[in-house]
Every structure is written in structure tokens, then in C-alpha cells.
Structure 1
Amino acid sequence: MKKTLLSVLSLLFLVSILAACTSSSANSDDQLTMVWYPNESGNDLKSARDEIGKVIEEVTGKKVEHKLTTDYAVAIETIANGNAQLAFMGAQGYIEAKNKNNSIEPLIVPSGKSGTIDDAVYYSWLAVKKADADQYKVNGEYAIDNIVDSKFSFVSSSSTSGFKVPSNDVIAYFSQQDQWKDLTPEDLMEGGTFFKEVLYGDSHQGSAVNLLSGRADVAAFCDTCVGNYIEIAEGEPNKAGSVYKVKADAAEPFHTVPGEEFTLINVTPVLNAPFAANTDSLSEEDFKKIQELMTSDDIANNEKIFVPADAETAGLFTKSADERFVVVEDSWFDPIRELSK
């Protein structure tokens, strides 16, 4: 009995030590942790992540550790519980993290071409394979009428442009019909009610590949997350009816579908994704230092962070005009919050 009690006490002591070490590591005075969504965790974006980490290290004097993920929920929970001080995440993920912990605050967002928040948007797409595109026309125009009973791919239920916005588009459109007047987001999350089958790509890249590999008939994903892997083949960027083609030398996971083409049938602008901070675990001094640095001209002109539009290098952000990082308030994300009401 004494041996058993001693063993239990020893185990509890060991667990407490390990927990303390984990907490100390996550909130070390000389280290910052930045967590990334699956979309930005690929090897092709390592140099872009490293450059952002490098400049933050220089201004704070602290080592930046990059925490890569394969699941939106893990990234959201990591910033919310303070095991990361910084995160790059979509508006919906930011809102979910802030709902968990009110100390989550937006640090910066990438601007639009104007260099301001006035055009700080990217685009949520609904796409189909080019060969099937004519099936999604009504009176000669692309429409979403025929997505009912399809095999549909979302990104993640926590994705802004890969679930929240497209599901809102679908509900707004179909709820005008008596048959679907009570349609809810939950009805779209799994097959059997509205869609025949529902898949999740776990990243925008994964959702696109679900479509191009034939696992899905229709897929939701965004322009920016797949931009490094595709090129426009017909039409204008971000217009319904435009056709995109996977580059011959596209990196994973598109390396399995080179040359495959898809057509946009629905395009919706979305508020740009923020870098967020947990102000419980990131000091006010470091918050201000990082924010001042990232909104500077030096960063706006850093070609490893804002990659020139005609460059062959993969990057997180593109510089085609006056793009830069800008400061926003939490209320800027209210239009995304409204989608859940």
C-alpha cells in the first residue's frame, strides 16, 4: 500500500514538473511562439515564415519558434490558451479565439492594393472542374442552383472563406425557396440533407485537391491560399466563369494534379486575415514593437515578405501596388461576426 501511494505521488510530482516545463517553454521570457494554420504550414512557405520570424526576433530580441499545424482547431486553441503569443489566422478563427479568450487582439492585417483597409479583401471561391462547368449554368450564366446533392468540399468549419462565407452564400440563396427556407449551417456540415456528401480539406489547398482529384464535385477555397500553385487560363481574376490551371511544377499537394483546370462558379470578397496576439502572454511592449515594425516601410518593401507579383518565389503576400501591413480594431471583423447571427 505504501509503495502504491509512493508511486502515485511520484507520478503526480513528475506530471507537475512536466506541466511547469511546458508552461515555462511556451511563455519563456526569451522566446515567442507563432502558430500557423495548415494553409501556411507547408514547406514551400518556410522561407516566408522564417523571414517574418527573423524580423520579429530582431525587434524584440527574442527567439521566434514556429508552430506548424494540420488542423484549424489546434491553431485556434494554441493562441487562445497562451501556448502561442502570435498567430496568422482567418477572421473566423480570430473571432473563435477571441470568444475563448478576450485577450486575443488583432495585431495587423495586410492591406489591399491601395495600402489601406478600404480594399483589404481576398476572395472565397466555389469551383468545379472545367469539364463539368456547363452543368452549373442557369440561363447561360454560372449559378449555384445545381450544387444540391453534390459531393462538396469545405476547408474547415473554422475557416472564414472555406466555410463561413460560402455556407452563408448558399443559405442566403437557397432559403428563398420553400424547400430550403429553414436551411442552417449545420445542415451543410455533413451529407444527407442538402449535399450528398461533405468532405473537409483541412486546408484550402486540400479542398482544392479534393475537387481536382475527383473526390468532390464542388469545392470551397480562397484565391490567396492557392495562388502559388495555379495560373489563370481564361477570363479575369476572381470572376465567375474564369478558368484556372494548376502549374506543371506545382508543389505539394498540387504535384498530383498538374495541368488540371477548374472554373469559378461563385466569387465573394472576404475581409483579409489578421495576425493576432494573445495579450495575456505577449507583453504590451513587445506588442507595440512588433506592430510598429510590421507596419513600417521597411517591411512593406521587404521582398521576402511582400513578394513581387512577377516573382517565381512562393510567398505569403504579394506586392503589385502599395500593399503593406496596417492596423485594425477588433470591430473591423464585425461583418464576419454578423454571419453567425
Structure 2
Amino acid sequence: MKKKMLTLMISLSLVAVTAGCGTKANEAKDGAQAAVKTKDTITIAWYPNESGADMKTSRDEIGKVVAAATGKKVEQKTTTDYTIAIEAIASGSADLVYMGAQGYVEANAKNKKVVPLVVQSGESGTLDDAVYNSWLNVRKGDGDGYKVGSIYSIENIAGKKFSFVSNSSTSGFKIPSGRILTFFSKKDKYKNLTVDDLILGGKDKFFSDVLFGGTHQGSAVNLLTGKADVAAFCDTCVANYIELSSGTANTPGAVYKVKQGAAEPFNTLIGKEFEVISVTPVLNQPFVINTGTISAEDTKKLKDAFTSEAVTNNPLIFLPKDSKDTGMFKQKSGKEKFLPVDDAFFNPIRTLYN
């Protein structure tokens, strides 16, 4: 699985790593987990993308799984900033977080007792295709300005108004900034380009203006309202609000529109369309635990619960393919489920920029 995933990342010119980089960094520390004092309450923190009112049913159902598995009370904490959730799991003020791979890497660097619990599988039901997609997007009608000949390219994004999500976002910052650096650093004009050069906009900067949407939804809104010319956001985080208008899903040239009945912040943008100019696969987001605050016994109970058939078949967690409801996870092939994952799975994200 690691070789397949690394090959995928390498083929996109994001990072040159080898399958041998995957050592289990946290194995030596797992023994200390057994001494953790049993807690009466387990706190779940959520990224801003999953903190909206439209995700409440998913949050509550996952909370019920945690409560039933451990016999503990569950406290839910929604957030307005990636950093809040990252700091919460690293400090131990939260015990469980659903977070992007980059956020996990940051939290694990702060506290090695923060480890992944499970990750959503791919459509195959395995980790081999456990990816979602990082998009670069422009408003419909602007796509021809981002082509070299007939092929979509990021060649012309320099000098534009650009929207990222958060500098702790995997698909909304880490992956697109890595893609941009890899592409442009091959050109003499940008051979010394660094990630810091992508953060601040201005007359003499790489981008004329740089915005951070705070969420993937917010970055999309920056694009659709004209604040940004190009915006990074991921497919899964906006899937509940959009529908394919033309083209092939998850390929450059696909056009999506905000669908009827879309919840905030898209409720005033019904019918607005955008065009995808770049697609990059990204490792799926894990549920992450702090083994300094959750005992080994409860960790096992949680892993068993999340990977159980009861959760896999729960339509309030994995929405059926034809469901019109809003949720975090949706069945596409019918094989999707949560699978155990170790720290080494996320090494491709660690090695970006290195």
C-alpha cells in the first residue's frame, strides 16, 4: 500500500520519497499508554469544515459511537480555526479529532502521544486508494486563461489573486503550495521561490493578493464572490453543496455549480459555477487520538467500534450513495469503511518541501 501511495505522490511531482521512509515513529511510545488514568468524559474536537450546523447529525452520531464503545460521556467542541483543533489534541484538552494529514503531522510533532486511530478507506475498501482530491479552481468562463495550448496548466496563476484554506490545511495549502513550488522552481525567474513567498500577496510578490478562507467552504466562497481569481479547496469538503454541471468529475475542465438548497455559506450563491484546472490526490483524513489522555483499553474499544460493521452500515455515518442528506462520509462503491492506520502512512505529507 505504501509503495502505491508514494508512487502516486511522486507521479504528481510533489515529492521524491521511497517506500523505505515508513518507520513506525510511535511504536516505542505505545507502552506508556496503559498507565493513562481512565477518564469519565471523552472530548471530540472538530475542524471548522465539520463544525457547521449541517454536519451536526454526523458529529452527534459519531459521538454516540464513542460513548457506546467506552461507556463514557462525550463532549463535542466545534472550532473556527484549524490551529485551535491542532492545539487541542496536542495539549490534551481534546482526546479525539477528525483532522487532515497535515494537521495530524503538526500535532504529532508537538506531542508524540498523538497518533492516528482510523482513516476512511478508498472505494476499493482498502488503503490503496484512500485518497480525496485537492483542486485548484477558477470561475466558469475563465478556464481558457489557464491553458497552455489545449491543456490546463497552472502556468498563469502567478500574479493572480489566490485563496488558500489555512496554512495547516493539507489539501487547501500543503499540497497546492507544494505543487506550485515544484512547478515554478524549475523556471529561472522563480528558482528561489519558497513557501513563504506564496503566503503574502503584493505588487512584487508571486500572487497579487493572498486570502485564507479559514475553511474549504470559505475558500470556495472567496472564488465565487470574486475576491479570488484562483482558489484551492478539496472535493469532499464542498461535495454537500455542489453538483457536476459538465465534464468528468475530478478532472481538469470539470465544471461544478452550487446546487439548489445548498446550506450556508453557499445559500446566497445558488447556481454559481466554477471550473477545475488542477487535481491532485491527497491522503485521506484520519481520526486522531491522544494516547496520553485515552487509555489503551479505550483506544482498542474505539478502534474496534469505528471498524465494526455496525458503523460501516450506519446510514447516519456513511450516507448511502443516493442519499440527499448532508454528512461527512458517503458511500460511492458500497465498500467504504474505516480502517486502522499507523503513523508511517502519513510520511509522504511529512516529506513535502524536504
TM over 0.5: yes
Task: Check if 1:99 corresponds to 2:112.
Answer: no
Residue aligning to 2:342: 329
CA distance in 2 between counterparts of 1:122 and 1:34 reads 23
Deviation at 1:29, TM superposition (A): 2.4
2:85 aligned to which of 70, 75, 83: 75
Deviation at 1:340, TM superposition (A): 3.5
Residue aligning to 1:304: 316
CA distance in 2 between counterparts of 1:261 and 1:63 reads 43
Residue aligning to 1:254: 266
Larger relative CO (CA 8 A, sep 6+): 1 or 2? 2
Higher helix share: 1
Count of residues in Structure 1 that have an aligned counterpart in Structure 2: 315
SS of the aligned residue for 1:50 comes to helix
Deviation at 1:28, TM superposition (A): 8.2
CA distance in 1 between counterparts of 2:125 and 2:299 reads 22
Largest Rg, 1 or 2: 1
Task: Check if 1:191 corresponds to 2:201.
Answer: yes
CA distance in 2 between counterparts of 1:240 and 1:131 reads 14
Residue aligning to 1:290: 302
Residue aligning to 2:276: 264
Cα deviation digits, residues 72-125 of structure 1 (max 9, x gap): 001100000000000000000000000000100000000001111000000000
SS of the aligned residue for 1:186 comes to helix
Cα deviation digits, residues 206-254 of structure 1 (max 9, x gap): 0000000110000000000000000001111110011001012110001
CA distance in 1 between counterparts of 2:267 and 2:63 reads 28
1:316 aligned to which of 320, 325, 328: 328
Residue aligning to 2:71: 61
SS of the aligned residue for 2:74 comes to strand
RMSD: 1.0
Residue aligning to 1:12: none
Task: Check if 1:122 corresponds to 2:135.
Answer: no
Q: Is the 8 A contact 2:38 2:295 kept in 1?
A: no
Gaps of 5+ in 2: 1-36
Residue aligning to 2:291: 279
AA at the equivalent of 1:324? K
Deviation at 1:131, TM superposition (A): 2.0
For normalisation by structure 1, the TM-score amounts to 0.91
Cα deviation digits, residues 18-67 of structure 1 (max 9, x gap): xxxxxxxxx98211100100000000010010000011101111111111
Gaps of 5+ in 1: 1-26
1:150 aligned to which of 160, 163, 168: 160
Task: Check if 1:226 corresponds to 2:235.
Answer: no
Q: Percent of aligned positions with the same letter in both sequences?
A: 57
For normalisation by structure 2, the TM-score amounts to 0.88
1:43 aligned to which of 53, 56, 61: 53
SS of the aligned residue for 2:128 comes to helix
CA distance in 1 between counterparts of 2:192 and 2:320 reads 46
SS of the aligned residue for 2:142 comes to helix
CA distance in 2 between counterparts of 1:114 and 1:140 reads 33
Cα deviation digits, residues 252-307 of structure 1 (max 9, x gap): 00112110000000000000000000000111111100000100111111110000
Q: Is the 8 A contact 2:82 2:166 kept in 1?
A: yes
SS of the aligned residue for 1:119 comes to coil
Residue aligning to 2:122: 112
AA at the equivalent of 1:37? Y
